A = this chain, B = another copy of it.
């Protein structure tokens, strides 16, 4: 049998004592915590775009990634060849789910129709491979940002014909996601934004964006797709301003256009920090609106101002993420999709494995720490106590909506000046370290 990753074994759990870099120290897929296996908790997914199509170029240099199987052509055959490689990768790394954009998996044709036919043919193979291997599609999406026709937006293009092209792509991408049993469908508004307000009618563009999302919802109903729709917030890059800036902005948009029942958020760590928020904040905003859907698991460099999409290795962050996933009762349709790329200097095949191992182990460790925190409930108890004054008396009236400015004024005049308890931030930060490094 052909192998594309010669010398790379199936990555195994070997525990913390191993010095084998091509092994898991923490991710033991069938180990149970809180009644579920790690595999079920984490629902790792690999993105076709980074694993198979990212050549590791940057704005100042061409690609460096070694891809010996790829003939660099835009042919359908080359696209089909890549599928084989990708499933070998999924098998060896031990990841159960994957995600794609239409243009990652199949090439643009000479006509729109040929483009769609290419997609269908690759999806034939994907369907076969899924059956053969048991791998599953976490979500699909359409690439509406790379082609020059989308340079000024897709749904938000000033050119209605471009909108039509985008709609056509979404139709096929959605239908193929459905056919492959995809658990969700994502909109990442790569070019939905503006370069300058000098030439932009923002309100009109947002109306158009909402129109496309509504059409997708209607089409899903028509074809029977029951998967979850997601929007992925990002504040900037490639455009100067992206409309889907952050969680709150996406929720505002969904509320304004009556789409909140149909969409949840796919939240990416690096996009959170580009927007000036912690990942925890973005997750909590989504959770507050019951709109946390799925996670693009990566991390950024907070000292850099672009989307570095690094592999997630900060265990402080993975712990915080998993705490919130546990708190909401686990993923339903969503999962942890490694929307992360190796550094341009990590150009070897082996680096693909090192990178995913680093992210999978960081999340496995984060899960274990989070489970302990969740089960012991010390943070939760602290927070609960902190707001106790709202659980009765005047606080309960405030929460019930029965207090007024007048009634509260009377109350305030009747009490001793309030005295605050300490917020104890430093003690809590230390407590977090005791969970992370306690033993």
With A236-B276, A358-B433, A361-B433 known as contacts, the answer to whether A426 contacts B346 (CB < 8 A) is yes
Question: How many copies make up the complex?
Answer: 4
Judge if A120 is at the interface, Cβ distance under 8 Å: no
| Distance of A432 from chain B, by nearest CB (Å) | 7
Contacts of A200 in B (CB 8 A): 383
Judge if A43 is at the interface, Cβ distance under 8 Å: no
A25, A161, A387: which has the most chain B beta carbons within 10 Å? A161
- Which residue of B has the minimal Cβ distance to A197? B280
Contacts of A89 in B (CB 8 A): none
CA distance A382 to B199 in the complex (A): 7
Given contacts A198-B429, A238-B344, 4 further A-B contacts (CB under 8 A): A60-B238, A62-B147, A164-B412, A207-B399
Within 8 A of B (CB), among A60-78: 60-64
With A236-B304, A428-B198, A438-B25 known as contacts, the answer to whether A405 contacts B314 (CB < 8 A) is no
B430 contacts A357, C-beta separation under 8 Å = yes
Judge if A125 is at the interface, Cβ distance under 8 Å: no
CA distance A197 to B278 in the complex (A): 10
| Distance of A89 from chain B, by nearest CB (Å) | 15
Interface SS of chain A: helix
Please, could you name 17 A-B residue pairs with CB atoms under 8 Å apart, sorted by A? A61-B147, A151-B420, A161-B389, A168-B408, A196-B428, A197-B284, A240-B304, A278-B303, A313-B426, A313-B430, A315-B433, A315-B437, A343-B423, A345-B422, A351-B422, A358-B426, A358-B430
CA distance A379 to B201 in the complex (A): 11
Within 8 A of B (CB), among A149-182: 149-152, 157-165, 167-168, 170-172, 174
